[in-house]
């Protein structure tokens, strides 16, 4: 008997007709398409954020290793052998050595410094272009996501006005659904755009830092080649180990 009463009360209770699922059902293909597009944008933004973060962290770690050990080598070839293959710093060194070798085969009067400087500049540009890949997508999401959400908002407001016109009055039950849908679309657009803009600015600032370190390294490599290995950046010496404490003198034996 009690179960039947509870079931009847549940059936008689008013159902929520203004949730997210209900808003999508009322919005139809426009609302569903808007949510799908914003979802794809959000997934792509976070994918690029994490992949570029790990890529940048790897290059920054390589930079610390280069500053610690690379310039301790006797030559660039010896130092390049210590660097992992397919890395930004290894690419700079390999391109510099290739440019030096290619210049010996040239028959015109182009100076070696100018030729190697141009080769290193092209290598830096290739590295910076790879680092910047994916960032235009973040910029596009940050610029367009609010307008995509606004499109859903406009459609929701239009549906609310249609309901008002058909009912002949602006009763809350006629406009709450479409207006709620419109607000949801606006919120989703901002929810997708704001993280994309923040990620773009943060990754861009890290790229500038990496670009500066790569440029400094390329300049040092060029100076080293132009001076036949005589010019090298100063490398801080390894910290000396603390000296062992002096042994205490043995106590004198007592006299008999």
State the average pLDDT over residues 182-188: 81
Return d(Cα 134, Cα 30) in angstroms, integer. Answer: 28
Question: What pTM was estimated for this model as a whole?
Answer: 0.74
Return d(Cα 45, Cα 49) in angstroms, integer. Answer: 6
State the average pLDDT over residues 232-247: 58
User: pLDDT confidence of 153, banded at 50, 70, 90?
Assistant: confident
User: pLDDT confidence of 241, banded at 50, 70, 90?
Assistant: low
Residue 185: its pLDDT value, please? 81
State the average pLDDT over residues 87-104: 85
pLDDT above 70 coverage of the chain, percent: 71
Residue 55: its pLDDT value, please? 93
User: pLDDT confidence of 156, banded at 50, 70, 90?
Assistant: confident
State the average pLDDT over residues 127-143: 93
- Secondary structure (DSSP) of the chain: -HHHHHHHHHHHSPP--SSHHHHHHHHHHHHHHHHHHHHHHHHHHHHHHHHHHHHHHHHHHHHHHHHHHGGGSSSHHHHHHTSPTTSHHHHHHHHHHHHHHHHTT--S---HHHHHHHHHHHHHHHHHHHHHTTHHHHHHHHHHHHHHHHHHHHHHHHHHHHHHHHHTS--HHHHHHHHHHHHHHHHHHHHHHHHHHHHHHHHHHHHHHHHHHHHHHHHHHHHHHHTTT------PPPPPPPPPPPPPPPPPPPP-
Q: Which of 56-70, 82-96, 141-155, 163-177 has the lowest mean pLDDT?
A: 163-177
Mean pLDDT of the chain: 78
Residue 19: its pLDDT value, please? 56
Residue 136 has pLDDT above 70, yes or no: yes
User: pLDDT confidence of 250, banded at 50, 70, 90?
Assistant: low
What residue has token string 């009912």? Answer: 167
Helix axes 88-103, 20-69, angle to 10 degrees: 50
Residue 167: its pLDDT value, please? 65
Residue 14: its pLDDT value, please? 47
State the average pLDDT over residues 114-141: 90
Residue 20: its pLDDT value, please? 57
Residue 191: its pLDDT value, please? 92
The CB density around residue 89, as the number of other CB atoms within 10 Å, is: 23
State the average pLDDT over residues 202-231: 89
State the average pLDDT over residues 156-181: 66
Structural contact between residues 72 and 235, judged by C-beta atoms closer than 8 angstroms: yes
pLDDT above 90 coverage of the chain, percent: 29
Residue 138: its pLDDT value, please? 95
């Amino acid at each position: 008997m009690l179960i039947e009463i509870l079931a009847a009360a549940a059936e008689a209770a008013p159902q929520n007709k203004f949730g997210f699922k209900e808003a999508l059902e009322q919005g139809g293909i426009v609302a569903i398409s808007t949510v799908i597009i914003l979802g794809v944008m959000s997934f792509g933004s976070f994918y690029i954020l994490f992949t570029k973060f790990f890529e940048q962290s790897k290059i920054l770690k390589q930079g610390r290793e280069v500053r610690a050990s690379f310039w301790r080598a006797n030559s660039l070839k010896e130092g390049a052998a210590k660097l992992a293959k397919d890395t930004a710093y290894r690419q700079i060194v390999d391109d510099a050595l290739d440019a030096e070798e290619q210049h010996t085969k040239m028959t015109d009067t182009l100076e070696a410094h100018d030729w190697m400087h141009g080769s290193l500049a092209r290598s830096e540009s290739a590295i910076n272009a790879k680092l910047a890949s994916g960032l235009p997508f973040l910029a596009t999401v940050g610029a367009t996501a609010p307008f995509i959400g606004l499109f859903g908002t406009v459609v929701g407001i239009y549906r609310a006005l249609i309901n008002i016109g058909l009912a002949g009055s602006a009763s809350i039950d006629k406009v709450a659904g479409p207006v709620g849908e419109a607000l949801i679309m606006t919120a989703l657009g901002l929810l997708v755009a704001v993280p994309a803009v923040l990620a773009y600015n943060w990754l861009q600032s890290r790229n500038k830092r990496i670009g500066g370190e790569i440029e400094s390294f390329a300049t040092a490599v060029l100076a080293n080649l132009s001076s036949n290995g005589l010019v090298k950046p100063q490398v801080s010496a390894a910290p000396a180990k603390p000296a062992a404490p002096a042994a205490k003198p043995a106590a004198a034996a007592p006299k008999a």
